[in-house]
Structure 1
Amino acid sequence: MRTIKDLDIDGKRVFIRCDFNVPKDEDGNITDDRRIRGALATIRYCLDRDCKVILASHYERPTAGVYEEKYSLATVVKRLKKLLKIAHNITLTTDVIGEDAQEKVANIKSGEVVVLENLRFEAGETDNDKEFAKKLADMADIYINDAFGACHRAHASIEAMANFFDKEHKAAGFLLAKEVKFFQKAIDNPQRPFIAVVGGSKVSGKLEALRHLLDKVDKIIIGGGMAFTFLKAQGYEIGQSLVENDLLDEARTVMIKARKQKV
């Protein structure tokens, strides 16, 4: 895997796809900033090389085309300023590919950071739209993917955008490279018994991972909100708990395969 260290990035416009989808409390305060901290090494590496840094991330699931303050990356930017300690050099755009974003990116100077507003405010992000991806790609010379938590999604800033850069102008950030190296070792040469713990709120985003893991592991433990879909698929009452009813059959298929493979 090519990493940012393999590229010539000095003084260039670098687009870093981050994962700033951090948890917040009912008042909108960030309760865990580890995902923001995880991106710092890549951001600092670029700033140390006088790059013009463009950061982008999604946050939760807003209605595309509708701006809602609770889905803004403003709180993330505030925390980022505190962590990077270069507050005066970090700005947030009021849109994603609109006039404000274009102007701020066009005027960015070396050592400065522009954060695009929540990518999912644009329908093109989740639609993996090529035209939307091209507008993002036109902002930068270099594309860096450091969003390990979002890499399983075929979204514009993850998949379509990367296709507009050749191998000399795209790579993984430090966080992504570290996570891939860790999981590669765990999956290719695991210690036995090999037990996978899979959690989160949505089954839909983890079906492929579950199918793949069935051929690799000895046991799978499913927790978090997604567990309720599997419990309901087995006939248990789950009350008002989170469930994806459209995936009950898929959950049953996964469990049938697991039993056959004695997982």
Structure 2
Amino acid sequence: MDSPFLFVDDIETAGKRCLVRLDLNVPLVDGVVGDDTRIRRVLPGLEALCSAGARVIIMTHLGRPKGRHVSEMSVTPVADRLASLIGRPVPVVSDITGQQAVDAVAGMQDGDVLMVENLRFHAGEEANDVAFAATLAALGDVYVGDAFSCTHRAHASVEALPRMMPIVAAGRALGDELSALHRALAAPERPLGAVVGGAKVSTKLSVLENLVKRVDVLVLGGGMANTFLLADGYDIGASLVEADMTETASGIVRTANDHGCRLILPHDFCVAKALASDVDTRIAKTGDVRVDDMILDAGPESAATAIAVLSDCRTIVWNGPMGAFEFPPFDAATNALAQAVAARSKNDGVMSVAGGGDTLAALANAGVSDDISCISTAGGAFLEWLEGRTLPGVEALRRA
């Protein structure tokens, strides 16, 4: 079946002015890039475009200047870091809606790279203003979307701009992510399992409601599991809980049952009197949680159960840790499950997709980031995808 998307490696870019939308919203420390992970992630795609003879015009946002020029949020440090990594100059065009931009682009040679100034210096960017998008469109022949983390935002450079370009393609990083996400939920190899953790049911309500209708098994962990346990009538002591969400939790359980989704809750716990790394802990089973106990991680039996039920799955989606992994030993269940999923991916070809900031940190803590099939750096966009929502920046890339 043909893909609904055109990919950048499938089009002719030699001599073409390619408007490349990236997410280079990286942290700056004293005017220098503090973490260049996002830059390195898109390097292969940029290098391929340059080698093909494209004229690469990079667009990104940085911070939240709210339509004003804020010198501390200039993309110049980002361009400097990119230049050092890619081994070629990356000049910055400060006036992206005026003659300076037109002249700079006109002076480009095949293989050149330039970066336009922070898109969010212009109010039209976040307003999805058509006139602002048209100004950008006049600078290019081809639009390349390579910022999955921005696709949930209907901003001018993400949604309006690609709709007015004659040629639109998904970049390498975004293309890889789209393919992985499609394989994970839209056309998964079954059985399909999911792991969802985190503190609150309320923040992932739509995710849970969507997943229980689509997956074969759903493992719950973190503070949100406490709300489900309380809804089932179990004592959870002094643990984090959303008491006002118990009816909602019960409704999710009913929906899971109606759709044949096996819902797995922890049945033993690592508990303590406080959240810290140097406190006394014990393992408590369901029904043995004391009034002053805090459930801070799933217990070893629960971790073993989760590993067992996921062992038959050919596709696994993960969002959220099983416990307070930032404070050892409350990372034990997350580590055990992460290592098991990573081993299945590495050794048995299981498709695993993980996303969300806490999830990525938890996988790194477990030392398995390199063995997960696809790690999405998109926070909000990944969650909205899990919710089954339409992403404006993805829809704008679809073939007409």
TM-score range, shorter chain: 0.7 to 0.9
Cα drift, residue 47 of structure 1: 0.9
Residue-by-residue CA offset, 1:230-249 (whole Å, 9 max, x unaligned):
x999379xxxxxxxxxxxxx
Which residue identity does 1:68 align to in structure 2?
A: V
1:33 equivalent among 31, 36, 50: 36
Mean CA deviation greater in 72-81 or 252-261: 252-261
User: Which residue is 1:246 aligned to?
Assistant: none
User: Which residue is 1:67 aligned to?
Assistant: 69
Check the 8 A contact 2:97/2:135 in 1, yes or no: yes
Once residues 208 and 100 of structure 2 are traced to their aligned partners in structure 1, the CA distance between those partners, rounded to angstroms, is: 41
Cα drift, residue 255 of structure 1: 6.1
Between the aligned residues of both structures, percent identity stands at 32
What secondary structure sits across from 1:22 in the alignment? Answer: coil
What secondary structure sits across from 2:33 in the alignment? Answer: coil
Residue-by-residue CA offset, 1:159-200 (whole Å, 9 max, x unaligned):
11111124xx1110110111111121222316656235588x
Q: What is the root-mean-square deviation in Å for CA atoms of aligned residues?
A: 3.2
In the superposition, relative to structure 1, how do residues 5 and 232 fare at CA in structure 2: closer, same or farther (>3 Å)? same
Cα drift, residue 69 of structure 1: 1.9
Check the 8 A contact 1:62/1:121 in 2, yes or no: yes
Unmatched 5+ stretches in structure 2 = 224-238, 257-262, 264-400
Check the 8 A contact 2:209/2:252 in 1, yes or no: no
User: Which residue is 1:179 aligned to?
Assistant: 177
Greater percentage in strand: 2
Check the 8 A contact 1:233/1:252 in 2, yes or no: no
Once residues 147 and 20 of structure 1 are traced to their aligned partners in structure 2, the CA distance between those partners, rounded to angstroms, is: 9
Once residues 147 and 198 of structure 1 are traced to their aligned partners in structure 2, the CA distance between those partners, rounded to angstroms, is: 25
2:57 equivalent among 49, 54, 59: 54
In the superposition, relative to structure 1, how do residues 77 and 198 fare at CA in structure 2: closer, same or farther (>3 Å)? farther
Cα drift, residue 106 of structure 1: 2.5
In the superposition, relative to structure 1, how do residues 79 and 163 fare at CA in structure 2: closer, same or farther (>3 Å)? same
In the superposition, relative to structure 1, how do residues 107 and 184 fare at CA in structure 2: closer, same or farther (>3 Å)? same
Which residue identity does 2:188 align to in structure 1?
A: N
Cα drift, residue 43 of structure 1: 1.2
Once residues 252 and 118 of structure 1 are traced to their aligned partners in structure 2, the CA distance between those partners, rounded to angstroms, is: 44
User: Which residue is 2:255 aligned to?
Assistant: 261
Counterparts in 2 of 1:70-219, with a 5 A limit? 70-87=72-89, 90-166=90-166, 169-187=167-185, 188-189=187-188, 194-196=193-195, 212-213=210-211, 215-217=213-215, 218-219=218-219
Residue-by-residue CA offset, 1:13-48 (whole Å, 9 max, x unaligned):
1111111012334x3432321211121122111111
Residue-by-residue CA offset, 1:212-263 (whole Å, 9 max, x unaligned):
445435246689xxxxxxx999379xxxxxxxxxxxxxx9998676455356
User: Which residue is 1:23 aligned to?
Assistant: 27
Once residues 221 and 107 of structure 1 are traced to their aligned partners in structure 2, the CA distance between those partners, rounded to angstroms, is: 56
Which residue identity does 2:18 align to in structure 1?
A: V
Once residues 205 and 73 of structure 2 are traced to their aligned partners in structure 1, the CA distance between those partners, rounded to angstroms, is: 26
User: Which residue is 2:391 aligned to?
Assistant: none
Once residues 232 and 14 of structure 1 are traced to their aligned partners in structure 2, the CA distance between those partners, rounded to angstroms, is: 50
Once residues 253 and 171 of structure 2 are traced to their aligned partners in structure 1, the CA distance between those partners, rounded to angstroms, is: 38
Unmatched 5+ stretches in structure 1 = 224-230, 237-250
Which residue identity does 2:14 align to in structure 1?
A: D
| Bigger Rg, structure 1 or 2 | 2
In the superposition, relative to structure 1, how do residues 173 and 193 fare at CA in structure 2: closer, same or farther (>3 Å)? closer
Q: How many residues align?
A: 232
User: Which residue is 2:46 aligned to?
Assistant: 43
More relative contact order in 1 or in 2 (CA 8 Å, sep 6+)? 1
Check the 8 A contact 1:210/1:254 in 2, yes or no: no
Cα drift, residue 68 of structure 1: 1.1
In the superposition, relative to structure 1, how do residues 62 and 191 fare at CA in structure 2: closer, same or farther (>3 Å)? farther
Once residues 252 and 130 of structure 1 are traced to their aligned partners in structure 2, the CA distance between those partners, rounded to angstroms, is: 45
What secondary structure sits across from 1:80 in the alignment? Answer: helix
